[in-house]
């Protein structure tokens, strides 16, 4: 379980997140929604250690990881599927997967088999350059690469971005299967369809703070999300 407690973070003199608390629990995938620029990516960066915390804490199964470097956080079980996927286009699918496991050393054959079972398309294309995959397939690869790190917590930064509705649905199905294996999922999204597919709990960010939270089925249909996008 991941708990983000009263997190403050930002860039230079600008503070973006002014005391945000969210959690991701196994069996209760959580979505963080909010308008462009509200700080969703900043939240992912702070959790993964790419930017420092100004105050607050990040707890993984009760242990404070906020002073660990990014590689140590991955080793302890926090994996990120970054915004824009960021697969290595000139490496093969298999090499991309292999890199996902690097914090634990060389991946086992069983790990590749596991990913192949979840994402058959990646097994078929394993010798192909990742840059030749479609956007949806690259998103699958980004997800599979994160899984190679054997995460306990999976952070997903806007995985629907730039994808056709059919690919968004495939991402939703894949994440739901991953969550059903006990991985705690924290999804950061603007896409309501994907949020509704995946999340059991929802958090709405506004002006760098939590404006609303509750069961996803209630909150996502309540109009609170649309209101926050429209700024009222």
Window of 18-26, 33-41, 119-127, 192-200 that interacts with ligand ATP by CB under 6 A: 33-41
Show Cβ contacts of residue 155 under 8 Å, excluding neighbours closer than 6 positions: 24, 44, 47, 48, 78, 79, 80, 81, 186, 188
Bridging pattern class, strands 30-33 and 184-189: parallel
Q: Which is nearer to ligand ATP, 111 or 158 (CB)?
A: 158
Rounded least distance, CB 35 to ligand ATP, Å: 7
Q: Which is nearer to ligand ATP, 111 or 138 (CB)?
A: 138
Strands across the sheet containing 14-24: 14-24, 2-11, 55-60, 63-64
Choose which of 2, 4, 9, 16 interacts with ligand ATP (CB under 6 A). Answer: 16
Cβ pair 155, 188 in contact under 8 A = yes
Q: Which is nearer to ligand ATP, 143 or 205 (CB)?
A: 205
37-76 residues in contact with ligand ATP (CB under 6 A) are 37-42
What distances in angstroms separate CA 1 from CA 25, 95, 122, 129, one per listed residue? 5, 30, 29, 35
User: Which two structure tokens, joined as six digits, stand for 87?
Assistant: 């697969």
Angle at 78 between CA 77 and CA 83, to 5 degrees: 150
Window of 19-27, 31-39, 54-62, 94-102 that interacts with ligand ATP by CB under 6 A: 31-39
Q: Which is nearer to ligand ATP, 36 or 127 (CB)?
A: 36
Rounded least distance, CB 166 to ligand ATP, Å: 22
SS3 156: strand
The reply to whether 82 sits near ligand ATP by the rule CB under 6 A is: no
Q: Which residue, chain included where needed, has tokens 């979505």?
A: 31
User: Which two structure tokens, joined as six digits, stand for 173?
Assistant: 């199905």
Residue 150 and residue 148: Cα distance in Å, rounded? 5
Q: Which is nearer to ligand ATP, 60 or 188 (CB)?
A: 188
Rounded least distance, CB 63 to ligand ATP, Å: 26
Cβ pair 64, 57 in contact under 8 A = yes
Q: Which is nearer to ligand ATP, 26 or 41 (CB)?
A: 41
Rounded least distance, CB 39 to ligand ATP, Å: 4
Window of 36-44, 98-106, 108-116, 176-184 that interacts with ligand ATP by CB under 6 A: 36-44
Binding site for ligand ATP (CB under 6 A): 11, 16, 34, 36-42
């Amino acid at each position: 379980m991941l708990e983000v407690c009263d997190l403050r973070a930002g860039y230079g003199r600008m503070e973006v997140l002014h005391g945000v608390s969210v959690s991701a629990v196994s069996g209760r995938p959580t979505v963080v929604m909010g308008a462009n620029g509200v700080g969703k990516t900043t939240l992912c960066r702070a959790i993964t250690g790419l930017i420092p915390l100004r105050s607050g804490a990040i707890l993984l199964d009760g242990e404070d990881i906020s002073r660990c470097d990014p590689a140590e956080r991955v080793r302890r079980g926090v994996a990120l599927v970054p915004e824009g996927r960021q697969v290595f286009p000139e490496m093969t699918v298999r090499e991309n997967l292999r890199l996902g496991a690097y914090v634990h050393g060389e991946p086992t054959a069983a790990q590749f088999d596991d990913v192949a079972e979840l994402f058959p398309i990646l097994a078929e294309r394993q010798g192909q350059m990742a840059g030749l995959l479609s956007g949806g397939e690259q998103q699958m690869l980004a997800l599979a690469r994160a899984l190679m790190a054997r995460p306990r917590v999976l952070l997903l930064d806007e995985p629907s971005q730039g994808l056709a509705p059919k690919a968004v649905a495939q991402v939703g199905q894949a994440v739901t299967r991953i969550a059903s294996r006990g991985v705690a999922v924290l999804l950061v999204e603007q896409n309501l369809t994907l949020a509704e597919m995946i999340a059991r709990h929802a958090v709405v960010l506004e002006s760098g703070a939590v404006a609303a939270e509750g069961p996803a089925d209630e909150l996502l249909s309540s109009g609170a999300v649309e209101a926050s996008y429209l700024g009222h």
